[in-house]
Chains A and B, each alone.
Chain A
Amino acid sequence: MSLRNNQAVLLAAAASVLLVAGLALALFWAPEDADQGFSQRIFYVHVPIALTAYACFGWGAWKALRLLWTRESRYDLESYTAVHMGVIFGILTLVTGSIWAKISWGVWWTWSERQLTLFLVLFLFYCAYFMLRFSVESGPRRANLSAVYALFGVALIPVSFLAIRLAENFIHPVVFTRDGPQMSGSMFLVFCVCLAAMLGLFASLYTNELTGKRLDARLRELREAVE
């Protein structure tokens, strides 16, 4: 997948269209939620970003598995880029979730939001991924270590979620509940468009970033050949 193909350009164009459409639908067309009012509309940006972050980590883990399976070095770059995107989307999840918490309950953080707590744990985990990469010389060793760690991350997602649920029994956070949107058909449509938009954004950014990193590597090779 290089930018030479029209594929990448089409992907970017599709993502842009979906993003604008999703934004417009979410802010103007989607019906107002009876309980939460206008503030419910954050749902259309927060949840798709969260799901996309999971998709990024899953994609990164899949590429990691391919690396360990086939030992082809290109998978290292692909896995790393996916995890990198995942952390960016993860930060966005935490920020939008925090804003939503502020609107809903007046606090910037609450431990009773399971998804948010899970993202915090995952965020810490994947930040350590970068620490790991920065402290190992580049090469097959670093690729293997990163791949194994990325796989552990994906295993951690369900285990952590279970742990957070179990922890509620003895941590007793101030429990805020939010009536989960009983999504009407039109709400669901808007949600799907926004989800597709975020996934498209991931795909497009991922493609560009990967091309950029590959170019970097090839330029380095070229430099060594010429000098």
Chain B
Amino acid sequence: MTTSEKYVTAAYLVVLAVVLLYVILYSFKLSRLEREVAELTELAQRRRAA
């Protein structure tokens, strides 16, 4: 690969990396949300039982 081809590829890869990083961070957030929903469901059921 010539130098310019390397740099062009690098630019596209940077964009891809940032988008994928976003996806990863987002999946962390989603798992946290899932955990909270599970906690709250349990709390609500306990409340109803009591």
CB <8 Å contact, A45 and B15: yes
Provided the pairs A37-B4, A103-B8, A212-B29 are in contact, do residues A92 and B36 lie with their beta carbons within 8 angstroms? no
CB <8 Å contact, A46 and B11: yes
Interface of A, secondary structure class, is: helix
Partner of A23, one of B5, B12, B26, B33: B12
**Residues in chain A near residue B3, CB distance under 8 A:** 103
Chain B residues within 8 Å of chain A by Cβ, number: 24
CB <8 Å contact, A208 and B26: yes
Instruction: Of the listed stretches A123-131, A155-163, A216-224, name the one at the interface; the rest are far from the partner chain.
Output: A216-224
Interface residues on A, range: 20 to 34
Partner of B30, one of A41, A95, A212: A212
Partner of B7, one of A92, A102, A201, A215: A102
Interface of B, secondary structure class, is: helix
Within the complex, the shortest CB–CB distance from A212 to chain B, in Å, comes to 6
CB <8 Å contact, A95 and B14: yes
CB <8 Å contact, A227 and B43: yes
| A226 CA to B44 CA, complexed, in Å | 6
**Residues in chain B near residue A95, CB distance under 8 A:** 11, 14
Residues in A lying within 8 Å of B, measured CB to CB:
23, 27, 37-39, 41-42, 45-46, 49, 88, 91-92, 95-96, 99-100, 102-103, 201, 205, 208-209, 212, 215-216, 219, 222-223, 226-227
Residues in B lying within 8 Å of A, measured CB to CB:
2-5, 7-8, 10-12, 14-15, 18-19, 22, 26, 29-30, 33, 36-37, 40, 43-44, 47
